[in-house]
């Protein structure tokens, strides 16, 4: 399940609904969705709409970027884990600042 533009909106919607139903049946409430692979090319407009339709509160991507007011809650950027805290701090302070490609992509929805 990649949820890309090669899949029909109905197929994407069925995948999201069925997986959420299974998770909630076996584990409890499921509020958040993490896009498989999570890259810009892996998230179609239909996938984003289905995440909204299936009442997820947030959708998480693997696209690096800052989480700030202009971020769409259904395509939130993600920070990647690091082996040590100093590398993580450095990444927080430098690497993901102002990812214009991400924000242009967000505004296309």
pTM attached to this predicted model: 0.70
Question: Which of the residue ranges 6-10, 25-29, 65-69, 77-81 has the most confident prediction, judged by mean pLDDT?
Answer: 25-29
The string of pLDDT tens digits covering residues 75-84 is 888 766 667 7
Q: Which long-range contacts (CB under 8 A, 24 or more apart) does 54-57 make?
A: 54/13, 54/16, 54/17, 54/20, 56/20, 56/30, 56/31, 56/32, 57/31, 57/32
């Amino acid at each position: 399940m990649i949820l890309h533009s090669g899949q029909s909106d109905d197929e994407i919607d069925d995948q999201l609904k069925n997986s959420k139903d299974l998770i909630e049946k076996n584990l409890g409430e499921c509020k958040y969705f993490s896009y498989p692979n999570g890259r810009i090319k892996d998230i179609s407009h239909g996938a984003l709409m289905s995440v909204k339709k299936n009442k997820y509160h947030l959708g998480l991507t693997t696209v690096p970027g800052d989480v700030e007011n202009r971020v769409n809650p259904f395509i939130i950027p993600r920070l990647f884990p690091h082996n040590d805290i100093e590398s993580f701090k450095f990444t927080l302070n430098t690497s993901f600042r102002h990812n214009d490609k991400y924000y242009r992509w967000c505004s296309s929805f």
